[in-house]
Amino acid sequence: EAEVAQSPRYKITEKSQAVAFWCDPISGHATLYWYRQILGQGPELLVQFQDESVVDDSQLPKDRFSAERLKGVDSTLKIQPAELGDSAMYLCASSLSSGGAKTQYFGPGTRLLVL
């Protein structure tokens, strides 16, 4: 069964350092999403890609966060510099198309701890 892949699974870093997370969506899924999930809360969307283009990054803290999906397949989310409040689970999801009746499928996530 096809799955969304993410790495690393766990990351510990010190504040002010740079971190990067990688996501490989299910093959053929044109839409890719990055979510942040703070402990005890539901996921919140950070950025959405349709192929290589950003569709929605309204909730992405652009002063320190960046995301790219250069070839419209895998994607990288970067934080520079990391802050203590960035400690969270970062989830990647993908879906077949944009809009309409579709379902997002999630990867295993990257747990980030900023010290």
Partner 1 sequence: AQKVTQAQTEISVVEKEDVTLDCVYETRDTTYYLFWYKQPPSGELVFLIRRNSFDEQNEISGRYSWNFQKSTSSFNFTITASQVVDSAVYFCALSATGDDMRFGAGTRLTVKP
Rule CB under 8 A: is residue 22 a binding residue for partner 1? no
Identify residue 27 by its one-letter amino acid code. S
DSSP state of 85: G
Rule CB under 8 A: is residue 107 a binding residue for partner 1? yes
Site string for partner 1, 67-86 (x = CB under 8 A): --------------------
Which residue lies nearer to partner 1 by CB, 48 or 65? 48
Rule CB under 8 A: is residue 61 a binding residue for partner 1? no
Q: How far apart are CA 64 and CA 83, in angstroms?
A: 9
Which residue lies nearer to partner 1 by CB, 40 or 71? 40
Sequence-ordered list of residues with C-beta below 8 angstroms from that of 101, at least 6 positions apart, any chain: none
